[in-house]
Amino acid sequence: MIKIGIIGGTGYTGVELLRLLAAHPEADLRIITSRGEAGKQVAELFSSLRGHVDLAFSEPETKSLAGCDVVFAATPNGVAMTHARELLKAGVKLIDLAADFRLKDPAAWEKWYGMPHACPELLAEAVYGLPEVNREKIKKTRLVANPGCYPTAVQLGFLPLLENGLVDTQHLIADAKSGVSGAGRKAELHALFSEAADSMKAYGVAGHRHWPEIRQGLDSASKKSVGLTFVPHLTPMIRGIHATLYARLTQPGAQLQALFEQRYAKEPFVDVMPAGSHPETRSVRASNVCRIAVHRPHDGDTVVVLSVIDNLVKGAAGQAVQNMNIMFGLDERTGLDQVAVLP
């Protein structure tokens, strides 16, 4: 059994981690921390976990976490990096669901997240936890930077095109929509029901924190710097991300459907749908699956890729568990075989 600790178990990604790990056959949940809820039973805060998680929240003390095999940090940005040195020194593996170790450049981190990095020496060691790209590195690392939700959907949609040099890399467009749970479990005006329901709006058009993360991954896939326009939107749903991706083909004769099917043929959590399909966010709700469809409208030189995920699962907690499975030599599908919830 894998002894597991969770730092910050009260947010949406934290409770999603608890849901998944409670049913994981190799997971031994030992510690769940929360400064605000210390001493309170988990099931008292989240009644959905009654009979599944018999633990109380505790203070986030590194000494107690050091007894775990792996710790998940489901905390706001800037928290995991304050625990990282001591946990790694104690021999604990760390999977950070926030952005602390996603960007390789500490100056870029400070620019986008408004604070200096607490342990920049660890950035080079951290492995970006997108299994479809870095599986072999994930197997060997002790520090995983779990990807963001938008970056997961966007990168998986663009990867086959960039890896094969089929598109103009200077004019990539990602038009992405997210449910309100992506804003986190906190009281904010824009996420109130009366503000978000029956409406949709773009935000962060001038610059969003996920842009440098997405671009870093796309640069790596294409082996050169790409030009990316990324526009996120808030939609009146709870879970889900729908990314509509646009690129101009430089090789019009490319067999796009076959290309995507071959790229993801052995990926357990990427489903390339039949030609002409239009994946829906509800088709992946509560599952760790990314569903993709590729289109070439009017047989022109524009390729349109549709990519959908559950932002809390493949976009956060599910992908983190997938990374844990890889790190500990398990079948990466372990504990993640839930069928999507419909309706």
Residues 166 and 97 occupy one common structural domain: no
Q: Would 93 be classed as within a structural domain?
A: yes
Residues 68 and 35 occupy one common structural domain: yes
Residues 112 and 155 occupy one common structural domain: no
Residues 21 and 153 occupy one common structural domain: no
Predicted pLDDT of residue 62: 82
CB-based contacts of 133, cutoff 8 Å, min separation 6: 155, 159, 217, 220, 221
Q: Would 327 be classed as within a structural domain?
A: no
Angstrom distances, CA of residue 305 to CA of 23, 149, 165, 293, 340:
33, 17, 16, 6, 21
Residues 292 and 230 occupy one common structural domain: yes
Sign of CA dihedral 319, 323, 325, 331: positive
Predicted pLDDT of residue 198: 92
Q: Would 325 be classed as within a structural domain?
A: no
CATH code where residue 281 lies: 3.30.360.10
DSSP 184-230: -SS--GGGSHHHHTT--EE--TT--THHHHHHHHHHHHHTS---EEE
User: CA 163, 329, 141, 261: dihedral to nearest 10 degrees?
Assistant: 10
Say if CB 42 and CB 14 are below 8 A apart. no
102 closest CA partner among 215, 197, 237, 255: 215
Residues 66 and 170 occupy one common structural domain: no
Q: Which amino acid is at 75?
A: T
CB-based contacts of 328, cutoff 8 Å, min separation 6: 2, 26, 69, 70
pLDDT at 252 exceeding the cut of 90: no
Q: Which amino acid is at 120?
A: P
Tally of domains in the chain: 2
71 closest CA partner among 126, 18, 4, 116: 4
Q: Would 339 be classed as within a structural domain?
A: no
Angstrom distances, CA of residue 126 to CA of 87, 179, 275, 276:
14, 29, 37, 38
Predicted pLDDT of residue 108: 96
Q: Would 336 be classed as within a structural domain?
A: no
Predicted pLDDT of residue 187: 72
**Helix axis angle, 131-140 relative to 149-163, nearest 10°?**
100
The model's confidence at residue 243, banded by pLDDT at 50, 70 and 90, is very high
Predicted pLDDT of residue 130: 98
41 closest CA partner among 62, 30, 55, 29: 55
pLDDT at 123 exceeding the cut of 90: yes
Structure tokens at 9: 């178990």
Residues 76 and 191 occupy one common structural domain: no
Q: Would 81 be classed as within a structural domain?
A: yes
Q: Which domain holds residue 237?
A: 149-310
Residues 176 and 65 occupy one common structural domain: no
Q: Would 221 be classed as within a structural domain?
A: yes
Q: What is the mean pLDDT of residues 224-247?
A: 97
Say if CB 278 and CB 259 are below 8 A apart. no
Q: Would 137 be classed as within a structural domain?
A: no
CB-based contacts of 1, cutoff 8 Å, min separation 6: 26, 27, 28
Residues 199 and 295 occupy one common structural domain: yes
The residue to which tokens 């002790």 are assigned: 142
Residues 109 and 237 occupy one common structural domain: no
Structure tokens at 147: 């990807």
The model's confidence at residue 110, banded by pLDDT at 50, 70 and 90, is very high
The DSSP element (H or E) to which 49 belongs, if any, is: none
Percent of the chain scoring above 70 in pLDDT: 100
pLDDT digits 0-9 by tens, 1-35: 999 999 998 999 999 999 999 999 999 999 999 98
pLDDT digits 0-9 by tens, 140-150: 999 999 999 99
Residue positions annotated with a catalytic role: 149
Among 91, 125, 159, residue at a domain's last position: 125
pLDDT digits 0-9 by tens, 176-234: 999 999 888 877 787 888 888 999 999 999 999 999 999 999 999 999 999 999 999 99
pLDDT at 271 exceeding the cut of 80: yes
Residues 110 and 187 occupy one common structural domain: no
CATH code where residue 100 lies: 3.40.50.720
pLDDT digits 0-9 by tens, 290-341: 999 999 999 999 999 999 999 999 999 999 999 999 999 999 999 999 999 9
Angstrom distances, CA of residue 9 to CA of 70, 215, 273:
15, 30, 35
Among 109, 125, 141, residue at a domain's last position: 125
Distance between first and last Cα of the chain: 34
Predicted pLDDT of residue 60: 87
Among 90, 125, 160, residue at a domain's last position: 125
Residues 173 and 24 occupy one common structural domain: no
